[in-house]
Amino acid sequence: MDNGDGIAVGWLGHPVFRDKEGRELFVHGIVRADVPFRRAESKYSVEQVGVTVEFYGGELNGVSYSDPATVKKYARRAQLGEILELDRATLKSDGVFRSSPRGWFTFGHATFALLFFFGHIWHGARTLFRDVFAGIDPDLDVQVEFGTFQKVGDPTTKRQAV
C-alpha cells in the first residue's frame, strides 16, 4: 500500500464558483457561501445561496454543475489546490498522508538547523553592530573599547582618540 493520494492521471480544470446572482466566490473577502459543518440550516449554505461551479480548461472544460452535492464535492477538493484525477488502484493508495519517524526526525533537525543558523546570524550582527544597537552616536570622536566597562564618559574605560 502506498500512502498518499495516488498517481495523477488528469487535470479536471480550474473551478470557478458563483452564487445565484452570478458573483464569483473567493476564498478571502466577504463570506457569501459555506459548506456547513453540521446539517443544521445555514443562511450561507450551498443549497440556499445557489452556488454553481464551472470549469475552465482540463477534462471538464465548459462543464457547469448546480447540484449541491456535486458542488460541495468540488469545493472540498478545490481547497487543496487544482483538482486532479487520481489513480488510487495501481498503488493501492488510501488518500491518507502519513509521516515516518525518519521524516519527523529530518523535519525536526532541519527546523532546528534553520533556527540555529539564523540565531548565529542574529547574534553575530548584534556583536558587530553593538554600538548601533546601544544607541551610541556614530559621529562620536572617542573610540570606546567594548568589553571592559562599555560606558561612554567613564574615566576608567579604555579609549583611543580617532
Q: Which three cell numbers stand for residue 161?
A: 582618540
Q: Are 14 and 78 in contact (CB under 8 A)?
A: no
Does 26 share its domain with 74?
yes
**Of the ranges 42-46, 108-112, 157-161, which one carries the lowest mean pLDDT score?**
157-161
Q: Of 25, 68, 62, nearest to 46 (Cα)?
A: 68
Q: Are 34 and 3 in contact (CB under 8 A)?
A: no
Does 27 share its domain with 79?
yes
Give the per-residue pLDDT at 80: 83
Stretch 132-160: mean pLDDT: 65
Give the per-residue pLDDT at 29: 76
Give whichever of 30-34, 106-110, 124-128, 129-133 has the largest mean pLDDT: 106-110
Q: What is the tens place of the pLDDT at every residue in 32-74?
A: 888 877 766 678 888 888 999 999 999 999 999 999 999 999 9
Give the per-residue pLDDT at 123: 94
Q: Are 132 and 123 in contact (CB under 8 A)?
A: no
User: What CATH number should be reported for the domain holding residue 32?
Assistant: 3.10.680.10
Q: In this structure, what DSSP letter does residue 2 have? A: -
49 alpha carbon, distance to own chain's centre: 29
Does 29 share its domain with 56?
yes
Q: What is the tens place of the pLDDT at every residue in 141-150?
A: 666 555 555 5
**How many domains does the chain fold into?**
2
Specify the DSSP element, H or E, that contains 121.
Answer: helix 101-128
| Final residue of a structural domain among 64, 87, 110 | 87
Does 27 share its domain with 83?
yes
The answer to whether residue 149 is domain-embedded is yes
Distance CA 13, CA 64 (A): 11
Name which residue leads in pLDDT, 14 or 132.
Answer: 14
The answer to whether residue 93 is domain-embedded is no
Give the per-residue pLDDT at 20: 92
Does the global pTM surpass 0.75? no
Give the per-residue pLDDT at 144: 59
| Final residue of a structural domain among 31, 65, 87 | 87
DSSP per-residue codes, 11-47: EEEEEEEE-TT-PBP-SSSS---B--SSSS--TTBHH
The answer to whether residue 1 is domain-embedded is no
Taking 60 as the threshold, does the pLDDT of residue 1 lie above it? Answer: no
Give the per-residue pLDDT at 6: 84
Q: Domain range for residue 131?
A: 101-161
The answer to whether residue 15 is domain-embedded is yes
